[in-house]
Structure 1
Amino acid sequence: MQFHMISGGPKPVAPFSHAVETDGFVFVTGQMPDTPESPGVLPDGIEAQTHHVMANLKTVLAGLGLGLEHVVMARIYLTRFKQDYEAMNATYRSYFPADRLPARTCVGVTGLAYDALIEVDLVARRPD
């Protein structure tokens, strides 16, 4: 098992690795909608926060020589589920080809770090 911290990656908000890898699977910790340059500073609105989360996930994956095309599962957490679900879906969908959407779970939660509107974690698989 390998525990990865990505140089230049998002600043952890708690004690965790950016990703843990075992048997070809890569488990990417949920990412927040801040940027490595401005930890804790969030953009306004679900669309902008979704873009920032996806950028952070891409940074972690790239640091491991992977990309979104290697994602097999995504979990999305929303604090304003009813209000933000549709707009988040439209933004999220733009990151994947229509015929290559990862398996996914999306849940409403009562709170996230930094009072974020969204957090997303991923499971990726290294190519054989």
Structure 2
Amino acid sequence: MFRKIGWSNGIKKAKYRSVVFNLNDPENPHLLRKVLLGQIKPKVLVTMSPAEMASQKRQRQNIQIQLKSLSRCVHDVDLKEKASTDMFPCSRCRERKCSYYQLQTRSANEPMTTYVTCVNCDNHWKFS
């Protein structure tokens, strides 16, 4: 491990701790067994991410957390408050029935980005 990573400072120290923690984790005996049986070589162990070294239970929990976070993001996109207006003419059908919402997509000193959807033809466009 020392030959691969080098002196333990900063990020490297966190890598040492991660490897030692995962090898000594009582809920993850499979990792230690695989290393002792030679199924996982030490050179490979040092390059593994914490997610790869985690127990199967922890990997399932991580996947559930990611799915929950993803579904929350998708749900939040659907719940954006949209306002109706007749200020924006649609370039496709020339109607003025539109819904829009605004997001701060760039830095705070830049104007907000306005996303507009035509109610009539479902044409989408944005402007700052």
TM tier, shorter chain?
under 0.3
Computing the radius of gyration over CA atoms, which structure comes out larger, 1 or 2? 2
More strand as a share of residues: 1
Between the two structures, name the one with larger relative contact order (CA 8 Å, sep ≥ 6). 1
More helix as a share of residues: 2
